[in-house]
Each structure stands twice: as structure tokens, then as C-alpha cells.
Amino acid sequence: MDLSTDNVTVMGEFFLPILEIYKDRVTILNSIQEIIKDLDLSDPKKMHPMKKYNEVLNWIDENLGRANAVITGKNIGKPIYDYLENGGLVQQDAKPINIKQALDNLARVVISDPKNRGWEFLSDGPSKIVMRKTQTFNANIQCGVLEGLLSRCKNVHNARVELIAEVKSGAEYDDY
């Protein structure tokens, strides 16, 4: 996997749920704010370096653990789903397959990557979708994002996202 973040940017809006989650945990919030101190998040549509976003996500995973990383991811999934729904990319009765397709389109709007990395879809079936993330992003946070998105689907209960291949463990890509 190409781990480069050169000239890759992400919308500021995706930093905001992270700050909201930890707003009452001063020590954690201060650590996150230290990482992003040079960013102006007053305009949620403004693009910021993906390197900083990854730094925040990795800090959460490394310092607060996998469970907090997944919870953070679920909270990041809320504005992602809202973007999908408000942009007409999914309807209220969206199925996982609809979200899968819309997610790839959305990733190309909220993340600007000159190498056009994003999602690849390896397979799908009635109760299982296998996806590959080709853009740098914390794997545990991503599990939470995907679970959060799936939880918004009607007729999907107790959605579970698992890493079936992980860069951190030597795989070429993170597969979910």
C-alpha cells in the first residue's frame, strides 16, 4: 500500500466529531488540540492535510485503545452518513450495497488525493461485503466508521465489521 499523504487533504468537518466526543475529557482534548493547533476548523468545508487527520486518529488508537478508536469511528460515521443522505447518494431505506457504492463516491469528495486512492470492492453477497481501503486511514477507526454507517441501514442489526487483512500485520492493504 502506498502510505504517502503528500498533497492529500480531508474536509475539516471530519475533525469536528472527534473534538465533540472528547470535549469533556480535558486531558485527551488538549492532546488532540495540540496535534491540530495549526488548523483553522471554523469552515467545515475547508480541506486540511490528511497527515494531521491520521495523526489524530492514530493518537486515539495508540493512547486510548481499540475500543475508543471504534467508538470514535462510529461518531465520524454520522456526518458521513448525513453527507450521503443529504447529497441524495443514499435514501432512508438504504441497504449496505447502496452505502458501499455511495461511500466510494463520497470519499472522492471529502478526501482529495492526487493518486485517486479510496475504496475497492472485492466481493459482496447477501450478508457479507469485502472492501479494501487503498487510502491511508487508521484501520480500527475505519471499522467503527463502517459499523456506524451500516447501523443506519434498515433491516441491518448488530452489523459487525472485521479486519480480514491489515497493513499493520504485514498485508498489502487493509481489507474489511
Give the pLDDT confidence of 53-75 residue by residue, as tens digits: 999 999 999 999 999 999 999 98
Read off the pLDDT band of 97 (50, 70, 90).
confident
**Chain centre distance of CA 168:** 17
pTM (predicted TM-score): 0.88
Q: Examine the pLDDT at 31 and tell me if it is beyond 80.
A: yes
What's the whole-number mean pLDDT along residues 16-24? 94
Residue type, 24: D
Q: Greater confidence, 18 or 126?
A: 18
Phi, psi dihedral angles at 66 (to 5 degrees): -60, -45
**pLDDT of res. 175:** 94
* pLDDT cut 90: percent of the chain above it: 55
How far is 31 from 59, CA to CA, in rounded Å? 9
Range list of H helices, the chain? 16-21, 26-35, 50-64, 66-86, 96-110, 139-151
Read off the pLDDT band of 78 (50, 70, 90).
confident
How far is 153 from 171, CA to CA, in rounded Å? 30
What's the whole-number mean pLDDT along residues 91-105? 81
CB 53 within 8 A of CB 14: yes
Residue type, 91: Q
Give the pLDDT confidence of 121-164 residue by residue, as tens digits: 898 877 788 999 898 889 999 999 999 888 888 777 888 899 99
**Distance spanning both ends of the chain, measured CA to CA:** 15
Q: Give residues with Cβ within 8 angstroms of 45, minimum separation 6.
A: 11, 12, 13
